[in-house]
Each structure stands twice: as C-alpha cells, then as structure tokens.
Chain A
C-alpha cells in the first residue's frame, strides 16, 4: 500500500474529527471529475455567420475520448491530468473510404484524424469542463491511381479535410455527467468537382451543440417502414410501451431535445445565443419529460 496515501488518510481523519466538532454542519460532496461520453455525440452545426455556409453540413456524429497518464508509482491512473481528443465522423469516413477504394492514405504522419488538446480535471463554477490547446485534425489524401472493382484504371482525386475545434466545453454536473457539449469548429474541405474537375475549397465556421447518446428518431409507419420524417417522441427519456416506445431513448430527461429533420438524430433543442445546455420539459413527451 502507498505510504503517502496512508498518511493522507490519517490526516483526513484528523480533519474529520475537528469537522465533527462543529455540530455536524453539512459539508458539500467533493467535486466530480471531468469526463466525456464513451460513444458518439449527435452534433448539430449552426453556421456562425448566417449566409456564409458553403459546406451545408447539418451536423454529424462526433466522438470524444479522454486520456489520463499513470501516476508516479504507475499502478494507478492520475485522474487529475487529462487530455482529450475529438474526432468527427466525416474524417474517419474519408480515411476509411480512401483506404478501402484506392489504398490511399495521408502520407504525413503529423496529420491526425482527431483534434487533441488538454482537458480540465474538474468542472468550473458553471459546471463546464473546457478543452484547450486543441490541435487541428486533418487528412490530406493525395491523388492516387488504382484499379476499380471492374478492373478499370481509376484515379482517386486529391482530397483534404480539416477540422479546427475551439472553445469546446462539456457540461459536467452530477445529474448529467458529460452528456452535452458545445463548441465552435472551422471545417475546410478541398476536393475536386466531379463534373468539371476544378479544385474547390470551402471553409465554414459552425457553432455546434452535442448530445449523447446519438439516438435515431426517424418516424416509422404502421408497417414498420421508415418514412424519412422526424419523430420527436422517439427522443423522450421515459419509456411508454403503449405509445410504441418500450424503451426510453437513453437521453437524460432534464434536457430539452427535438428530432432534427436533416440528421434524423435527436439533438438538443438549442440555438446559439441561448443558455446552454437547454434544460426543461419536452411537451411532446407528456408530463414525464
């Protein structure tokens, strides 16, 4: 056992003795640690400058992952030092498709599919955990010749995709730990127009809201066929078997959510400028939220 911790135990015990003498005035619970969700967030993009959106991206799935170094004697995790990585689904899809189609990869080892930076250990006074010093995620696939499925020679066009995340803050409260996040991202895409062959570059800055888990909410008709329309009720937290919802969505009941018609994923019912995260009841879920 670590001697250091033993003495800390005794020290805490001594403090505790003195604390008890104060007729048991209630002490608050120790603060929680900053974490992120272990799967994909449903992220909705709002163009930062209205009218300046060449990418026309409504949103996508984005994953985050937190890393901790080992502690001094390396048997335990140092949970108070953390780094974080953010990866957008588009980036992984680009890399996977290029590899699968043309065995093409980004030759620069410094280009990563994820943004990487520091993460605070404990939430601030407003219950937010901030990521800082985030690197740029980038994949630059060079023009690559390959043989397609029919045996014909083909060219994989030069493609570049870059994500620059900033001001990423994850909401971390004891009730909703890490299930909502917000931030800003500048996405740059360089690709070849498939018709003209011209190279085009498009950069847009979005304000993003993220919600975990990413739940599909496409409406389903009586026959069980998907309709392509959004169904808000599928985002409700509480199960309602009589309404055809044997499970809750897995989204926390405290969040205001809606089904985004473009993504057909449940997203936070929020627009830039409003208070984040949006708490409240969802009227379409009945009185249970």
Chain B
C-alpha cells in the first residue's frame, strides 16, 4: 500500500493523541442476559442478598450472583438455551423456576417472588416466563434451528439450498424478501447485509454476499436483526444475520441426518418462450441430497466441551443439449422467400421468436454437478467461573464440474445458471472445474470481574475464501500441464460458420456442409474449440479482532455501559490467465486471427505476458463505539450510543480511497407498561454506515490490461499445435494501430482506474423505527412496528463527459453536483404474532405493508452483485426517469407459519407444519436501448410505470413422524413439500419495450407510447404518441416494438419434495 507523505502525516498526527478506540462489538455466543428483581411475596418489597443460581444444559457449570440493595440481579454472558433460576434467601423458602428460554443476544427480565419461611397463607406466585426482550429496540426475529424440523424451510433450488444453509431462515422474517443473491431486508439490497458466525464476519469481502452457507444442522440459533440495533452492530445498511453454532454439553448428544430431493418428484414447469437457436439447452433437476452427522459432549464435565459435525451435500442437474435447424419463410413451391434485399426471411412466432426444427440424433446429455463438504469443530472451555474461551473452526469447501460434468456457479448455486451460449463448443473449451474453499476460525474470550459488574468480551477471527475456475482436467493456473497449455479459440467471424465445421452431424440434419460460407440453417456465431481460454483464481483474507468492555453502574437507576473497539483488515488477490498464455478469436471478416494476451505493454509494441496477472486490493476498517443502556423505574430503558468507523481501501497499483468520519449515533427508548417484561413500547433512531466491499477496488482501482494483435490466417492456424508459434511471431503481426498510435501492432484494453472525489463521504442510511409488543399468553406475543429508512449518501462511479472519464464520488455532492442525489426511501408497517413451540404447537404470522422508492437500488444490479458500480449513475444521458418504485418494492407481504405436534401411543410423535407466503408483485419498468449501453439501459417511462407482476403465493408443508427409541434418542422421517399446489406465477417479464435507441419521455405515462399495431407517424407534429428515436428525434416506428414485450421470462419454482431421515441421540 503506498500512501504518500500527506496521508502518513495524518496518521502521525493521530498517533499523538491518546487512543480510546471505539469499535463495533462483535456479537458472540455468550451474550444474553438474565436480569430482574426479587421481591418478598408478602410485603412486595425488594430483597437484598438473595443468592441467584442460574443453570442450563447450554451453560458450563453454574453462574451465581447476589441481589443488590434494590433486589436486582443480573447474569450476563449467557449462551442461548433453556434456563433454570434458583433463589436462596435467608429466611425464605427456596424457589426454582425452570423453562426460561433465553434467545441469543437477548436480555430477559424475570421478576421473581420469594415466600417468607414463616408465612402460612398460601400466596399464588405470579411468575410466568417472560418472552419480551425489554432491553432493545431491535426488530427482526430470533429463530431456533429446530424450527427446520417442524416447518418446511430452505426450498431446494434456492441459494445454497443443497446444504440447507442458515440463511434460508431469512424467509420467516417480516420485512425480508428473497432475491437470487440473498435476502433484501427492509428495502436494502442483499449485499448490504452482514453475516456473523460465532462473532466472525463471513460475508464475501469483495461483494458482501454470504460466503459461508453453514448448514442448519450445525446452528443453534440465528438472530436476524432487521433494524433498530445498537452501535454494537455496525458497518451494515441492511440487516444482520448473527449465527450461534451448537456447542457440546455435559452429556453426549448429536444426530445423524440425511435428506433427498429427487428431480422425478418435481412439479411440471411452465415453459418460458424464448428465441430458437441452433444449440439449445434444457435443464432439469436430477437430485439434491445431503447426509452427515453432528455430535457434542464433554471432554471434562463442566469444564471442557467439544462439538463437531460433518455434512456432505450433492446437487445434480440433468442437462440436455439439442441441435436445431433454423426455419425460414417459404413460397408455396418450397423455395425460400426472399425480402427486398434478396435475403431469406426468418420464420418467427407471434412474439418475434425464431422458429426451429429439431435435428434427430443431435442430442448430447450432460450432468451439472456440485459437491459440498461442510465441517465444524468447536471447543468450549470454562477456565474458571469468571473466564471462558471458545474456539470454533468451520468451513464449506465445494467442488463442481470437471470429468465430463458441467460446473454450477459456486456462489449462487442456483439451478438456472446454464444458458445456451455456454454449451456452444467442445467440452474442453466451454467446461470448467470450479472449486471454493471457505474456512473460518474464531476464538472468543468472555471474562467477568468485580462480581460480574465488569465484563470483557474479545474475539479474534480469520476468514479465508478461495475460489477458482480451472480447465476441466483440474490443472492449476500457470502449471504448464494438460489443458493449461492449450489455447482457447473462438470462431467469431461475421459470416457465421455452420455447426458442421466443428461437429459430426447425423444424416438428414439439413445443415450446410463443412466449409460452407453462406450459412442460414445452422449458424454458430461464437463456437469454442481448443482449451478453456480464461481461467482464474481468487484468494480473500479477512482478519478481524474486536473487544467489548461492559460496566454496570447504579445512578438514578441502572446503567449498562459498553465500549468496544474493532479492527478488520482484508485483502483480495484475483489472478487470471489464458490457457497456453494466449486466446484466439476470428476477425470479423474471417481473414485473420485476433491474438489476445493477458499482459500489458512495457514498451511501444512490446507486450509482457506474466504467467498470471494478479493485482491485489486491500481494505482496513477501524471502529469503535460507546453506549449506555439506562433503566429506571423498572419500566423505562433509554439506549444511547455513538459509533465511529473509518475505512481505508487501496490497490497494489497505488491508488486508493479513505473514508473517515463515519459517526453513527443511535438512540432508543423502551417503556414496559407491565413492569414485568411482558410488554414494551419502543422508538429508535439510528444512522448506519456501509462497509465498502473490495469489489469497488477490484473494479475501479486496478487496471486489468490485455492486449490484442492480428495475424493473417495464411500463416497462423491456432488449432494446429505445431502452427501456434507462427501466430505469436512478431514478424507476422499485422499493422492495426492508427497512424497516431505509438503501438501499431498491438491494441490494448483495460478498465480505467477511476479517481476519487476529494470531497467524498461514506455511504450511509438513516432509520427511524417504533412499535410495541405484548405478551398475550404463555410464550406468545403480538406486536406492531413501523420502520422508515432513507439513504443519506451513496458512493458510485459517474462520468460527466459521456464516458470519457469516470470518477468515484457521491451523486449530488462535490464534483458530482450535476448528478441527482441518490435516493432510496422505505416505509413499512408490520403486524405480527409469534408463539414459540410449547404445549405442542407454534405459530408465526406477519403482515407487512411497505413502499420502497427512489433511484438507487443498492449494491446489486438485478441478480448480480455490483458494489458501487451500477450503471444507473454512469452517464448524465442515462439519468432521466430513474426515480420511482424500486425493483425490491413489495407492497404487501403475508407470512404465516404454524406447526402442531401430536403425541400418539407407543412413543410416536407426528408433527404437521404448514406455511403460506403471499407477496405482491414487483414493479415493472418500460425500457429501451441506449446507443452506448445497449438494450434495456434507457428508461422510456419513469421507473415502475409498467405496472406490477402478479402476486406470488406459496404453500409449503412439513410432515414428520418420530419414534422415541429411548429417553434421549429419536428416529424421525420427514417429508417437506415446497409449493404444494405447484403455483406457477410469473416472476419476471420482458421489460424492453423496444430494442431500438429511443429518447426517454420524462415523466411520461403508458398512454404516451404507441399501441400494438398502431400506424407510424410521419412527423412529430400531431403525433398521438410521444416516443421518438434517439438520434434525430423522429417519431418511433411502432413496427420496432419488441413483440415479446410484457411476456413472462421466468416462473415460480415448481413443486419439489424433500424427504429426510434423522436419528437424534
């Protein structure tokens, strides 16, 4: 990292000051609190010096505190679990209260009463277990992973669904909407979320989506916070997924499990209309299965516990690659119909799609396969009652492709990543072997001093993420072996090849024969032969360390004061190369080869090609916080805190960005009218700052140059290994550079580095929330809350000169003042009812009405992460009509879950779970083409003017039959059915009104567009419709309307059935 003396001076100035660093606290396993007041049942007065003993199977040993003068007790740093509180007071009857469920990261208030020894009257003790977390204003949901045994969660085909990732529990949370790359929480995009497992952040450092889809089998609880959280949680403008893994206990417990989702049981899919092509691809689920075990127990009772687990998950798709012949209009006598220019006319359906006839015998079958092996190992050590240490190691290596198989996209892992163009070639050319290694280590220390009035929680963590795309024989990049030495070739001449040039076709195919130059029936435009060409490797490291100090004080009430510091250093290396160090593509006229080399020019017309091109990017984040949680009158809690963050990002090429001054205030107030932890009314305000993913540095702070030269086909034949040398001989390079270019034989391409506006500020968001909850009966609560979120400043790359030069800044501020400010406003009201499992049933129901609008969707562009490099703010000419309902807007969202357990004779239990989710449809845009940015880049009408998609409903069910073999072990068999009624609602539509370049109609409506079949206006004067062509403003010709506009392009996933077996002991 090369910061100049100016920046170094800043650091030195800072160094002279004392360092009380405040940082966001990591959230770790033992962070829940039991607190309350003990009073005399007869006099209703508080009792001091009562010994409070807290025990739980989740807790090593027991925790003992003593009530103070006001009768208050507080037991912190507890892991989630079922607790028993025992009270022993002099002259009082001992009292024990069990069945208290403590959730991760919660503060539970249990006010208890003791009966005096000598009392003879019977007093009924009112001590129902409380369920309302009266210590926080956080909205969201805390989900026990056992919920996955009672409800159908983690639908197959979703993100990382083969491993049944914890992330799928996000579906239950009000305010969360599924997207291909994760859940959008309260209007924020999926990459803005923060993921923590055992206190270590496991988001992908480059783009922010979840890196470690840890199986639900290894997880104890997930705390999904959707808003209102304290400064302890920082660096996120979305939601927080805080995961607590299981731990061992004083007895050996565990389970062996397996599940199987056969493709044969998949419901009938509604086919999507699409353009007919010569190479067509169809995919179908073959099977998803996983099996594994997990076990925990004591190494030394009450002192040292272990937990370990292993899970293998396999995902297979059947891929059918078929060949087709394109069809053309014919005259009655069978000859081809020709247009005015003498060209044949494609035969198209009413939606404008090319029609084809299949070629018999031209089918190839492949399997797309992916294997994941997840592991976890954990040690929990109680050093003494005041100090405990937890070490956990977990990871999720994945392999895909190779050996004749097709690879699946590693991160998204969805079943829809295969497209037609991918299979137009030889297997060695289009196939890849992909690997991902994700490993995390976390070490946490929890200490207490001064009789638990001073606490220290410190966590150190390391998250390693590696991924690659290698040739199908698995040889390493730059290894010089196997396919790594074979260059890739792309046959891209303008006049397409016939597929017979590359493949042996069955007789009667009707395709032009090998060597044909005028090809209409079986054209292939970018056929791939030779080796894979582009291969790459990415390594990302995240080192994290944090410490939080908590101090309890009494002054006009109780104060829980916390201060913490947090440091994170991450870096990423992205290496790429071409196999054989060169890649070939045919020139447009077919007379020469373009010779591509990944390398840069070191002198005029002199290219240096390294074995690997691998720039690195770095990010350092430092932060801290101070907060006070002040409770008085037993009913009112005021939370106030301030957080500070600073981020520095740079690249190995010596360019970077500094984002200091991220001051983030949080204020909240909670009022408990019952005074017994059974209700609350709360309000909070917070400002959140966003952690810029390394992807911004990878996109904008490094060049990735590659160079191209042209060599005539008369001397160069890349498909013949003996002739490749001639293709690289400098004597054979043609002159392609312009007369003013110092490089006459080499063209070069690279992403330009974008400089940073000196006045840039970090991206941030403001949130106001409020609401209330009430415990209606045992374990059940009902509530309402309102959330408002507004983006404050956004970091984006922009150009003020039509793409000549880009800069990184805040739209609407500083150098980018002539861009509109980024806006994203979200308002939502949620009503919910939640009953945790007790008395044989559970229920969770919520309804959320929300409205998301603005001009900034977030860190994702459609289904791909795009950190701060959206095209929305690129050019001034792209800006019109960008404000309106955003793609994540869902006006209504209903989520209802319920499960009931029936106990039958002979130790048999049956669980029936049902869920219903209904969500209103996304808004649709009306798009046209832009001359530079292509199709779909121009908003003809304001965002969201195209109406809405229909509602999407899904009914899922779970049926589990369990047989209790012994007191501790159960064998159960389950069937989860997702989308029980096989609803096939449209989930996306073609939004391109036309593929022609047109000018946006600012503030226009649908009536400003020509109707289907309307005749063209000759001139603009008196024209009914307002749509005009981009170049000259002439009226748009309605014949250029996209015939497929408004047609569905995808449907809801069909019904799938997952069968599972589990032995718990």
- Closest approach, in angstroms, between the C-beta of A40 and any C-beta of chain B? 5
Cβ A96 vs Cβ B604 within 8 A? no
Contact digits for B597-615, partner A, Cβ 8 Å, 1 yes 0 no? 0001111101010111111
Give bound CA distance, A77 to B615, whole Å: 8
Which chain B residues numbered 567 to 611 have a C-beta less than 8 Å away from chain A? 567, 569, 571, 573, 575, 600-604, 606, 608, 610-611
Judge if A126 is at the interface, Cβ distance under 8 Å: no
Judge if B657 is at the interface, Cβ distance under 8 Å: yes
- Closest approach, in angstroms, between the C-beta of A9 and any C-beta of chain B? 5
B: interface residue count bin = 35 or more
Among B141-149, B556-564, B732-740, B836-844, the stretch that binds chain A is B732-740
Give bound CA distance, A29 to B7, whole Å: 8
Give bound CA distance, A258 to B648, whole Å: 41
Contact digits for A43-84, partner B, Cβ 8 Å, 1 yes 0 no? 000000000000000001111110111110011110110010
Give bound CA distance, A179 to B806, whole Å: 12
Tell which of A28, A32, A113, A242 touches B10, judged by Cβ atoms closer than 8 Å. Answer: A28
Cβ A1 vs Cβ B655 within 8 A? no
Among B405-413, B467-475, B616-624, the stretch that binds chain A is B616-624
Cβ B739 vs Cβ A92 within 8 A? yes
- Closest approach, in angstroms, between the C-beta of B1035 and any C-beta of chain A? 14
Among B201-209, B212-220, B334-342, B741-749, the stretch that binds chain A is B741-749
Which chain A residues numbered 1 to 49 have a C-beta less than 8 Å away from chain B? 1-2, 5-6, 8-10, 12-13, 15-33, 35, 37-38, 40
Contact digits for B689-728, partner A, Cβ 8 Å, 1 yes 0 no? 0000000000000010100000000000000000000000
Among B354-362, B658-666, B852-860, the stretch that binds chain A is B658-666
Judge if B120 is at the interface, Cβ distance under 8 Å: no
Among B24-32, B237-245, B443-451, B754-762, the stretch that binds chain A is B754-762
Cβ B741 vs Cβ A87 within 8 A? yes
Cβ B742 vs Cβ A75 within 8 A? no
Tell which of B3, B8, B571, B741 touches A92, judged by Cβ atoms closer than 8 Å. Answer: B741
Cβ B758 vs Cβ A16 within 8 A? no
Give bound CA distance, A253 to B656, whole Å: 25
Cβ B10 vs Cβ A237 within 8 A? no
Tell which of A76, A239, A248, A251 touches B652, judged by Cβ atoms closer than 8 Å. Answer: A76
Judge if B374 is at the interface, Cβ distance under 8 Å: no
Cβ A5 vs Cβ B18 within 8 A? no
Q: Given A22-B17, A175-B815, does the pair A77, B644 have CB atoms closer than 8 Å? A: no
Judge if A177 is at the interface, Cβ distance under 8 Å: yes
User: Which chain B residues border A65 with CB–CB below 8 Å?
Assistant: 601, 604, 741-743
- When C-beta atoms are compared, the residue in chain A nearest to B803 turns out to be A250
Tell which of A17, A32, A91 touches B739, judged by Cβ atoms closer than 8 Å. Answer: A91
Cβ B801 vs Cβ A251 within 8 A? yes
Give bound CA distance, A16 to B569, whole Å: 11
Give bound CA distance, A1 to B575, whole Å: 10
User: Which chain A residues border B802 with CB–CB below 8 Å?
Assistant: 237, 239, 247-250
- When C-beta atoms are compared, the residue in chain B nearest to A85 turns out to be B742
- Closest approach, in angstroms, between the C-beta of B509 and any C-beta of chain A? 46
Tell which of A8, A12, A26, A248 touches B877, judged by Cβ atoms closer than 8 Å. Answer: A248
Which chain B residues numbered 1 to 44 have a C-beta less than 8 Å away from chain A? 1-4, 6-8, 10-21
Cβ A12 vs Cβ B620 within 8 A? yes
- Closest approach, in angstroms, between the C-beta of B464 and any C-beta of chain A? 10
Give bound CA distance, A238 to B877, whole Å: 8
Which chain B residues numbered 744 to 794 have a C-beta less than 8 Å away from chain A? 744, 748, 752-753, 755-758, 760
Tell which of A2, A9, A237 touches B801, judged by Cβ atoms closer than 8 Å. Answer: A237
- When C-beta atoms are compared, the residue in chain B nearest to A68 turns out to be B600
Contact digits for A92-128, partner B, Cβ 8 Å, 1 yes 0 no? 1101100000000000000011101000011000000
Judge if A213 is at the interface, Cβ distance under 8 Å: yes
Cβ A33 vs Cβ B931 within 8 A? no
- Closest approach, in angstroms, between the C-beta of A253 and any C-beta of chain B? 6
Cβ A9 vs Cβ B10 within 8 A? no
Cβ B620 vs Cβ A30 within 8 A? no
Cβ A5 vs Cβ B1 within 8 A? yes
- When C-beta atoms are compared, the residue in chain B nearest to A251 turns out to be B801
Judge if A88 is at the interface, Cβ distance under 8 Å: yes
Cβ B742 vs Cβ A21 within 8 A? no
User: Which chain A residues border B752 with CB–CB below 8 Å?
Assistant: 35, 38
Cβ B21 vs Cβ A24 within 8 A? no
Q: Given A86-B742, A246-B999, does the pair A177, B3 have CB atoms closer than 8 Å? A: no
User: Which chain A residues border B620 with CB–CB below 8 Å?
Assistant: 9, 12-13, 16
Judge if A144 is at the interface, Cβ distance under 8 Å: no
- When C-beta atoms are compared, the residue in chain B nearest to A114 turns out to be B742
Knowing that A13-B569, A29-B760, A70-B608 touch, tell me 11 more A-B residue pairs with CB under 8 angstroms.
A16-B646, A30-B3, A61-B738, A62-B740, A75-B612, A79-B653, A174-B757, A249-B801, A249-B802, A250-B801, A252-B805
B-binding residues in A (CB < 8 A): 1-2, 5-6, 8-10, 12-13, 15-33, 35, 37-38, 40, 60-65, 67-71, 74-77, 79-80, 83, 85-93, 95-96, 112-114, 116, 121-122, 173-179, 212-213, 237-239, 241-242, 244, 246-253, 288
